[in-house]
Amino acid sequence: MTMFSTIFLSALALVSPIAHGALVRVNDFGSNPTSLQMNIYVPSKLATSPPIILALHPCGGTGEQYAQMTKYNSLADQKGFITIFPSTKKDTNCWEVNKERTLTHDGGGDSQGLANMITYTIQKYSADATKVFVTGSSSGCMMTNVMMATYPNLFAAATCYSGVAAGCLAGSPGASPGSADPKCANGQVVKTGTEWAAVVKAMYPTYNGTYPRLATFHGAADTLVRPGNLAEQLKEWSAVMGVTFSKNVTNTPQSGYTQLVYGDGTKLVGYSASGVGHTVPVHEDVDLKWFGLS
Ligand SMILES: *[C@@H]1O[C@H](CO)[C@@H](O)[C@H](O)[C@H]1NC(C)=O
Ligand SMILES: *[C@@H]1O[C@H](CO)[C@@H](O)[C@H](O)[C@H]1NC(C)=O
């Protein structure tokens, strides 16, 4: 083999790495208008037609850190699903949940880059397009709500921890504790369900399919992202999904947590965690059950 072809083949291998059992950077996943980083974890024993979980870090964090902080990758080793742990490096590493471009389907913001990571992964690993999920903490939960609104076609279900309704920070100068209009985090952006549903609809006006199922957690003692934001998320998605509050179930999934059930509890639930601040610890077991992967 000539030196030229050796270099050429090595370069090809670098363009599309398939690294099983480690979190690896992917640079060629498609259009990436806001320069996000994609990190993927493909377990050694990959399921046939694997599900995908997109997991979004909090402000100040990175995908690599969130992968370390959570148990999703050891669960991926057991269950054979793929995880994506992206990073954003702007605005104190907070997801861009304030800008019109991200709050618009194919609008050229963070949401579009994240959506392209999903479509890339579905194609490259023959993943199951009906089993794609999104989760996240704090800013990652805010972005989870935004992904549900801007790319409802991609996701079957979502869970998240200590965030705000999709559109709560719309028009704010930033999305980090230092740059954001504080009204949203303070629980002062209050809308009716009908108003929230119109906000969601405006992010992808031509979409007429179903929206992903949501289980969203919030700490009742959260002073950074006030607990009123749980009620606003629930109003938003109950109006979008057409399910109304049916009952509270106390001490679920653990002592001190109240599960707020909408409809029959298969599309929308909230969890209010008594005495818990920012953020609610990730409950990977609850997530996997909600996703139908446990
Ligand atoms: C939804 O939109 C698609 C594509 O425009 C169309 O084919 C379909 O009939 C619509 N479905 C409903 C329920 O309106
Ligand atoms: C359900 O639980 C939430 C959170 O603890 C509480 O705010 C709400 O008042 C409860 N609703 C009912 C009907 O008990």
Output the domain CATH number for residue 281. 3.40.50.1820
Domain count, the chain: 1
Ligand 2 pocket test target in 269, 272, 274, 280 with most atoms within 8 Å of CB = 272
How far apart (Å, rounded) are the C-alpha atoms in residues 103 and 179? 18
Q: How many angstroms separate the alpha carbon of residue 207 from the centre of ligand 1?
A: 8
Structural domain of 217: 3-291
Crossing angle of the two packed helices 228-241 and 139-150, in degrees rounded to 10: 10
With CA atoms as reference, report the closest residue to 39 among 12, 61, 59, 11.
61
Tell me which of 87, 138, 139, 272 is the catalytic residue: 138
Which ligand has the nearest atom to the CA of 153? 1
- Give the SS3 label for residue 9: helix
Stretch (H or E) spanning 245:
strand 245-249
CA of 145 to the centre of ligand 1 (A): 24
* Count of residues in the chain: 294
Pick the atom of ligand 2 nearest to 231's CA: 7
pLDDT in tens, the chain (294 residues): 444 444 444 444 444 455 677 999 999 999 999 999 999 999 999 999 999 999 999 999 999 999 999 999 999 999 999 999 999 999 999 999 999 999 999 999 999 999 999 999 999 999 999 999 999 999 999 999 999 999 999 999 999 999 999 999 999 999 999 999 999 999 999 999 999 999 999 999 999 999 999 999 999 999 999 999 999 999 999 999 999 999 999 999 999 999 999 999 999 999 999 999 999 999 999 999 999 999
Residue identifier of the C-alpha nearest atom 14 of ligand 2: 248
Minimum-distance ligand 2 atom for the alpha carbon of 247: 13
Ligand positioned closest to the Cα atom of 210:
1
Report the alpha-carbon distance of residue 243 to residue 266 in Å, rounded. Answer: 10
Q: Is 238 a catalytic residue?
A: no
Give residue 199 CA to ligand 2 midpoint distance, Å.
Answer: 25
At residue 18, the pLDDT reads 59
What is the CB < 6 Å shell around ligand 2? 248, 258, 260, 272
Query: Which of helix, strand or coil describes residue 161?
Result: strand
Q: Residue 290: which H helix or E strand, with range?
A: helix 284-291
pTM passes above 0.85: yes
CA distance from start to end of the chain: 49
For residue 2, what pLDDT is reported?
A: 45
Q: What are the backbone dihedrals phi and psi of residue 123, each rounded to the nearest 5 degrees, phi first?
A: -70, -50
For a mutational test of ligand 2's pocket, the pick from 258, 261, 269, 271, i.e. the residue with the most ligand atoms closer than 8 A to its C-beta, is 258
Residue minimizing CA distance to atom 9 of ligand 2: 248
Cα(129) to ligand 1 centroid in Å equals 19
CA of 150 to the centre of ligand 1 (A): 17
Nearest ligand (C-alpha, residue 207) = 1
